[in-house]
Structure 1
Amino acid sequence: MYIITILLCTLAKAVMSQTRDIFPAKVLVPQKIVTKNTNLPVTCSTFGFKKQPGLVHVYLWKDGFGIQSLIQKDQVTDTTFILADVTIQNSGNYSCVYSKNDYSLSEVTKRGDNVIPILVVDNFLPADISVSGPPAVSEGDDITFRCTVSPPLQTACGSQPILSYLRKNETILQVQPFNVEQREATFTIQGAVLRDSGQYSCVVLPSKCIDGQEEKLYGNNAVFIEVKENVLRGLAYYAMVSVMVVLLLCFLLWINKRGLGSFHKLRGLCQMENLTVAAAPSAPEEELETPTSSFSSEEEEGYANSEFIDTVAHNSQRDEQEDPYHTIDDTLDNGQAQVNTAAMPSALCLYAVSGRRIPPPLLPEL
């Protein structure tokens, strides 16, 4: 008993001596929740705590024991420790102290001015996904997914909004705010089509952590959705198109038939008009006096005029064959041609009788 008492007194003196030699410092971190496999800087500041100038030993403390130490030079108040490629084991309570003496890390048990809890988490949380209703649906149906997280929600990237991501195969399809209190989110695909078939999963993470991590995300499970073709809807669609085509053809046939009937009726009326014009009496030809005696100067002049009349008549007949729309009665009065309007059918009748669909040219004004 006497020996145990001596040992306890010796230990107490050592602790009191260390307490007098080790002084508190302030610990600073940029964020309390960090992502796994990243680097975390932890700064120990002696500003306002260092009483005497000179070199000091700064110790980074975690959960009651020192884990790293660095030498802080004179006139320097901040010393930064880098925790590289942090893992889940790096989670814990951190603090800082300093001393003039160099101690082993196991001897540093005194905590600093403050303690900061640091949590190391995965860069995303795999979630559970389920589907409301059967996994096989028809085209046009709605598909509803439910994304849930079982453990307490702890994510990195500070206090960013927590979002849930619906993934189809390897692509993010939808994003919804995650209900932290109920630990779930709901996704809906409205009017499903054939290309919506595939494997679906979901994950939860803050919005800014998605950059560069899309191909690494995965959920706790996946559901396969099969979208089948709706036969009745396809038949209804093709039937509607067929009815529209038939109605359009019937309308075009009706328009064509009505147009041809009016055209033939107009042609018959014009033929009757032509018969009426043909039955009209022609003007009596002027009788030419025929001399009985030998040729005089007047007779020679009349003979020359008759030859000129024959030539003009021949040219007029040729012009009528080339242009059936005009009938010209050539006369010799001052060598001018006049249009015989009495024997000329109307332009509309000429169009109907010709049977052409292009309207005839306009007749010259008299």
Structure 2
Amino acid sequence: MASMFLLAVISVSVFLQSQGQKIHEAKLYIHNTEVLEGGKLELTCSTFGYSVKSVYLYLCKNGKAIDSKKQRNQEDINFRIEGIQMEHSGNYSCVFSEEKLETTNVKGYGDNYIFINVIESLIRAQIRLLESEVTEGSDVNFMCTSSHTLNTNQSKNLNLAYLIKDGKAVEVSIWDKQKMKTTFTLRKVQMEDAGTYSCVLLLSILPHPGMRLYGSNEANLQITVASNSSSEEVKIVLVCSGIVLLLCLSLGILAMIRKRVIECPGFNSERSLENDMEIRETEMIYEDTGEIQNVVCNEQEWDEFSDSEEDPNKNEVLPIYDYMRDTYDNISTM
């Protein structure tokens, strides 16, 4: 029984040694050792000076392979990690093998290793609502502050603050690095704007997918319906103003009409004379030509013509009147 156990230990040891002989060191290159959370990490593995064959390259983190690629014509291999999280921080290196191995079984460190530091891009800040209850249609102000100690890289990239509602960014504001605060203003809030708010600071322009957005504390905004009394008062004032304006306009027009009548007393008489002149226009038909002409008579001619028309026997009546007067005088003298 003991011999069998000893044989098993020896077999495992030989197997591990054979596996270890298949793993060789490679070189790792990287441009930036600090990466913002949510960003991407790019690393380059090279076998230059280590092998003249096409091999399999492995990217290792803390001595364990996390990715593998096949090399062709001794070219350098680039590894990329998208959506970097805080847990991606660690020591990275490269190894290679001439045969393809299971990535999970590959362990070791390369010729060099580089520590990658992932910087948290989200900083949870404190929020304060200046007025917890406001009326519908008014403005609301939120104060966002932070006492978080920033390192050099964070302080250099920290520019934006976000107002969060229900896990979503609804407003963005420029962050004051010296005062470590900013103010958010919601204009003319409606009933749907009521809810719970928080604020966060981001080193990146936009939050990366899957990032949970929530601050250190929350502020509850309550919105009440605006009173109708003020609107009714405004309506009454407008109606009264309209009535007064119409009354003043009517009085002004009436005053203008009266002033014009007083200043033009002969207006009616002039109009009557004009009407008489128009009535005195006649149409005369000349039998010999058959033409119709408009004849306008002046006032003197029209009076003479009227007298002759109204009393055609006037010249005959006057002699009879004289005769009767003489006869009456003779009788009186007798």
CA distance in 2, matches of 1:228, 1:127: 31
Question: Residues 61-102 of structure 1: CA distance to partner in whole angstroms, max 9, x if unpaired?
Answer: 323x23246465463232244557765433323223456799
Deviation track 1:102-141 (CA, whole Å, cap 9, x = no partner) reads 999788554543514142757x555442212x31235786
Where 2:160 maps in the other structure, the secondary structure is: strand
Taking structure 1 as the reference length, the TM-score comes to: 0.52
Q: Is the 8 A contact 1:166 1:173 kept in 2?
A: yes
Separation of aligned partners in 2, 1:68 and 1:273 = 114
Residues 270, 184 of structure 1: CA spacing in aligned structure 2 closer, same or farther, 3 A cutoff? closer
Contact 2:24 2:110 in 1 (8 A): no
The equivalences for 1:245-264 within 5 A come to 245-262=242-259
For the pair 1:328 / 2:271, whether they are aligned, the reply is no
State the percentage of identical aligned residues.
21
Does 2:41 match 1:43? no
Q: Distance in 2 between matches of 1:173 and 1:69?
A: 38
Whole-angstrom distance in 1 between the partners of 2:298 and 2:210: 96
Change in Cα spacing, 1:242 to 1:31, as seen in structure 2 (3 Å) is farther
Distance 1:254 1:97, change over 3 A: same
Match of 1:146 among 138, 143, 148: 143
Deviations 1:14-49 (A, max 9, x none): 99xx89x8545123377843556x8755432334xx
- The aligned counterpart of 1:28 is 30
Q: 1:228 to 1:136 in 2, by over 3 A?
A: farther
Deviation of 1:326 (Å): 1.0
- The yes-or-no answer on 1:174 pairing with 2:174 is no
Match of 1:95 among 93, 96, 106: 93
Q: Give the Cα–Cα distance (whole angstroms) in 2 for the partners of residues 107 and 332 of structure 1.
A: 132
C-alpha separation in 2, matches of 1:237 and 1:218 = 43
Q: Deviations over 1:292-337 (max 9, x none)?
A: xxxxxxxxxxxxxxxxxxxxxxxxxxxx9xx877132659899761
| Aligned: 1:241 with 2:193 | no
Partner residue of 1:338 out of 286, 292, 296 = 296
Q: Which secondary structure does the structure 2 equivalent of 1:326 belong to? A: helix
Q: Contact conserved, 1:130 with 1:146, CA < 8 A, in 2?
A: yes
Equivalent position amino acid for 1:326 in 2: E
SS of residue in 1 equivalent to 2:296: strand
Taking structure 2 as the reference length, what is the TM-score of the superposition?
A: 0.56
Query: Structure 2: how far apart are the matches of 1:83 and 1:242?
Result: 70
User: Is the CA contact 2:124–2:201 (under 8 Å) kept in the aligned structure 1?
Assistant: yes
- The answer to whether the 8 Å contact 2:158/2:201 transfers is no
User: How many residue pairs are counted as aligned between the two chains?
Assistant: 271
Q: Distance in 2 between matches of 1:242 and 1:171?
A: 46
Give the match for residue 319 of structure 2: none
Root-mean-square deviation (CA, aligned residues, Å) is 5.2
- Shift in Å, 1:145: 1.0
Report the more deviating stretch, 108-117 or 97-106.
Answer: 97-106
User: Is the 1:93–1:118 Cα contact (8 Å) retained in structure 2?
Assistant: no
Change beyond 3 A, Cα 1:164–1:341: farther
Q: What runs of 5+ residues in structure 2 fail to find an aligned partner?
A: 1-15, 287-292, 303-334
Query: 2-side partners of 1:342 and 1:202: how far apart?
Result: 103
Shift of 1:224: 1.1
Deviation at 1:201, TM superposition (A): 3.4
Residues in 2 aligned to 1:333 and 1:80: alpha-carbon distance in whole angstroms: 118
Deviations 1:214-271 (A, max 9, x none): 9x75555342142553778646644653453133112212123214424654786445
Provide the secondary structure at the position in 2 that maps to 1:113.
coil
Describe the shift of the 1:60–1:204 C-alpha distance in structure 2 as closer, same or farther (beyond 3 A). same
Instruction: Give the letter aligned to residue 298 of structure 2.
Output: N
In the TM superposition, what are the counterparts of 1:215-294 in structure 2 within 5 Å?
Answer: 217-219=213-215, 221-226=218-223, 229=226, 234=231, 237-238=234-235, 240-262=237-259, 265=262, 269-271=266-268
**For the residues of structure 2 that align with 1:102 and 1:168, how far apart are their CA atoms?**
50
